[in-house]
Structure 1
Amino acid sequence: MSAAQKVDVFRVPCDGPADLSGVQALVDAGRLDPRQIIAVMGKTEGNGCVNDHTRDFAATAWCHFLAPHLDCTAAQVHGRVALVMSGGTEGVLSPHFTVFARGPAGAAEATHEKRLVVGVAHTRDFAPEELGRMAQVEATAEAVKAAMRDAGIEDAADVHFVQVKCPLLTSAKVRAAQQSGAATVSRDTYESMGWSRGASALGVGLALGEFAAVDEAAILHDGTLYSARASCSAGIELDGNVVIVLGEAAGSASRFRIAHTVMQDAIDGNSVRRMLRERFGLDPEADADLVADRLVNLLAKAEASPGGLVREARHTMLNDSDIHSTRHARAAVGGVLASVVGSTALYVSGGAEHQGPPGGGPVAAIFAIPSF
């Protein structure tokens, strides 16, 4: 998209994966033009695992909601709008949707300041044997670059968050690969989520120049190789990657800004506090009311430290046979972040392979500009 953008962002609570009444209220009030919706990031209340159908349920609801506004079929909506649904709202996290609407800025609206822009792109569909391998890394890197162009971002330093929705292996996909004589990276469907997220994250880092090269042997094995701006979520509802790039560009008429940091571990709230002070001039304690008023959302990745320790103390998240570690991590990081910003409707996604340092993860904050 070459013209200057005007992006609106709304955080909308929901009573269930298909509850779009809050979105409809925004439309009825004239605050949101559904024809301009370009991306939706949802947190649904499923388990976030292979069998979490709340993601597909929510995406289907959005497709049926948007189809008449976009003058297309529900099946065609996926090609028009980036729908990323992330399952799991453990602990204090609250289900919600973050809706991005984009339109051209008027000549009088464009500014010389850097403000929020958004771009989207899709990869091709992947064969089962390509998931978690270089084919997915390379295709994701190309899609990130395409989404940057769509956003009007020229400098990778202006990219603050890249959300990827990627596929996983189902038993049917594994069987189909075997029947064709191909080998998948794993036969375990849950394990395949990590492979897909990890390869996608490395593709993001490659596109943003966070490292110069990637080889297949590094995927899920080299923890020093990571992106500080990638957030990848795997699901059964798609066969290729959907990429949303969030950043800033001069000339944007948006009334929002975005910044990012990296949590070094699951309890690193100080990195987020520092970002709020340095990038937005807000102290989370002294300016708690302003933070609550201006914050649109925190977008974050979370994972249980693979070394089994958090600041030299043993954790048991990796040893729980009843509840997977990704669910523990979402609850823990969600609680830490909620305590910093005083809100529980936060986009916290589990499984941070190559997304931030081991045990940590990227965090981005979107804030409204008060003087706009």
Structure 2
Amino acid sequence: MRASVHRLGMAHPGDLSQLAALFDSGVVDPRHVVAVIGKTEGNGGVNDFTRGYFTLAFSALLAERTGRRRGEIVESVPCVLSGGTEGVLTPHYLVFSRDPAADGPAGGPKRLAVGVAFSPPVPPEAVGRQTHVEMVAAAVGQAMRDAGISDPADVHFVQVKAPCVTAARAQEAAARGASVLTADSGRSMAYARVAGAFGVALALGDAPAGRLTEAAMFRDYDIFSDRASISSGVEVACNEVIVLGNAAGWSGDLAIAHRPMKDALDIGGIVAVLDDLGLAAAPQLVPAAAARVRGVLVKCEPDRRGLVRGNRHTMLDDTDINAQRHIRGALGGLVAGVLGDGRIFVSGGAEHQGPDGGGLIAVIAEI
């Protein structure tokens, strides 16, 4: 098996012209596409419909090129979009494909492995609760098996898109006699992210199972996974999971590495993950090195204590600009400055995803 990653730009959230060109040229076989992770220029909130717009356009294009039903594609190819391209961030998307005819040599080096999975639909009353944690953990295990990864240490990044509760979903649950954790869509998105982070930690062994409970959510910030990136939205009804790691049996020249980011100023974490892949930033990658980078994935969170290295920040108290938009812009600028490229997936809402007040960074590059 060989994994390929293409980082493509878009003129608007429904622009798939660069992917269509790769299909036309034969560079990418549409039948081999297994997942997409991208950034759209929406607000990143509950009513960010740029994510659904992209998914509609993508599934329509893939259906046209493969002859499969669009609904079948939506249910089998994870398409995880994060809204918000503040500052120097560039709207873009990563297309992951797998060529099953290109096996790696026996005993060869571990190379990029990609696995995907979908959980069953999550009932509204389960969102953000222990059942949700367990559903994510099961789906992560399934995606690892799909990637041919048996050792959790070989997993470097797990992207989950989880559903949240809307007013309509809350009413549907109430009609069945069930109660949701919260009917506030924004809070529901946050609880879904934490349930996803706990599910990844459970599947990978990043924390003891006995600590990954509802009682620890938003309370015990010593519990986290620095390999979990969780998004939530109204456009999905189940947990969509993408596992990225390095495994034997895969061919090609791509590998992935990750590092935790201890806070919003942790430029050392960025430099370290690049060094893990043989890329030297001094202080910025030279163009030849930057050309080897295929994807950059970052998760971040405004420090809830209101301080960054002892100095006060105002991200949580700004009435005009949401705190998540602040942190995406700040981290986007920091990482882009080192990489020399604004095509970076930066997602806010990093509760229990990396160290408290920090986050994580993963990079895919040619070795």
How do 1:323-342 and structure 2 match up within 5 A? Answer: 323-342=321-340
Residue in 2 that maps onto 1:175: 171
Report the AA paired with residue 140 of structure 1.
Answer: V
How do 1:1-372 and structure 2 match up within 5 A? Answer: 5-106=1-102, 112-213=108-209, 214-285=212-283, 287-369=285-367
Report the AA paired with residue 298 of structure 1.
Answer: V
Q: What SS is found at the alignment partner of 2:6?
A: strand
Taking a change above 3 Å as real, the CA distance of residues 110 and 19 of structure 1, as seen in their structure-2 partners, is farther
Offset of 1:116 from its aligned partner?
0.1
CA deviations over 1:185-224 (Å, ceiling 9, x no partner):
1121111111000100110011001112111111222111
Offset of 1:271 from its aligned partner?
0.9
Q: What SS is found at the alignment partner of 1:101?
A: strand
Offset of 1:159 from its aligned partner?
0.2
Taking a change above 3 Å as real, the CA distance of residues 65 and 109 of structure 1, as seen in their structure-2 partners, is farther
Taking a change above 3 Å as real, the CA distance of residues 159 and 108 of structure 1, as seen in their structure-2 partners, is closer
CA deviations over 1:78-104 (Å, ceiling 9, x no partner):
122111111111111000010001021
CA distance in 2, matches of 1:71, 1:11: 24
Offset of 1:358 from its aligned partner?
1.5
Taking a change above 3 Å as real, the CA distance of residues 107 and 172 of structure 1, as seen in their structure-2 partners, is closer
Report the AA paired with residue 22 of structure 1.
Answer: Q
Deviation larger for 65-74 or 96-105: 65-74
Q: Is the 8 A contact 2:258 2:362 kept in 1?
A: yes
Q: Is the 8 A contact 2:298 2:346 kept in 1?
A: yes
Identical-residue share of aligned pairs (%): 47
CA distance in 2, matches of 1:42, 1:121: 18
Report the AA paired with residue 347 of structure 1.
Answer: F
Offset of 1:287 from its aligned partner?
4.7
Offset of 1:30 from its aligned partner?
1.7
CA deviations over 1:250-309 (Å, ceiling 9, x no partner):
121122010000110011111110221234242343752233110112101011111111
Query: What is the CA RMSD across the aligned residues, in angstroms?
Result: 1.4
CA distance in 1, matches of 2:186, 2:321: 13
Q: Is the 8 A contact 1:49 1:87 kept in 2?
A: yes
CA distance in 2, matches of 1:332, 1:209: 31
CA deviations over 1:229-264 (Å, ceiling 9, x no partner):
000011111111000000001121122010000110
Q: Is the 8 A contact 1:82 1:120 kept in 2?
A: yes
Q: What SS is found at the alignment partner of 1:280?
A: coil
- How many residues align? The count is 365
Deviation larger for 64-73 or 45-54: 64-73
CA deviations over 1:104-140 (Å, ceiling 9, x no partner):
1435766610110100001111111100001110010
CA distance in 2, matches of 1:107, 1:357: 37
Deviation larger for 118-127 or 211-220: 211-220
Taking a change above 3 Å as real, the CA distance of residues 166 and 292 of structure 1, as seen in their structure-2 partners, is same
CA distance in 2, matches of 1:108, 1:364: 23
Deviation larger for 265-274 or 289-298: 289-298
Offset of 1:181 from its aligned partner?
2.9
Q: What SS is found at the alignment partner of 1:238?
A: coil
CA distance in 2, matches of 1:283, 1:357: 23
Q: Is the 8 A contact 1:110 1:252 kept in 2?
A: no
Q: Is the 8 A contact 2:137 2:203 kept in 1?
A: yes
Q: What SS is found at the alignment partner of 2:177?
A: coil
Taking a change above 3 Å as real, the CA distance of residues 287 and 191 of structure 1, as seen in their structure-2 partners, is closer
Gaps of 5+ in 2: none
TM-score computed with the length of structure 1 as normaliser: 0.95
Offset of 1:149 from its aligned partner?
0.4
CA distance in 2, matches of 1:20, 1:189: 30
Offset of 1:344 from its aligned partner?
0.2
Q: Is the 8 A contact 2:104 2:252 kept in 1?
A: no
CA distance in 1, matches of 2:243, 2:186: 26
Taking a change above 3 Å as real, the CA distance of residues 88 and 107 of structure 1, as seen in their structure-2 partners, is closer
Q: Is the 8 A contact 1:67 1:77 kept in 2?
A: yes
Q: Is the 8 A contact 1:46 1:53 kept in 2?
A: yes
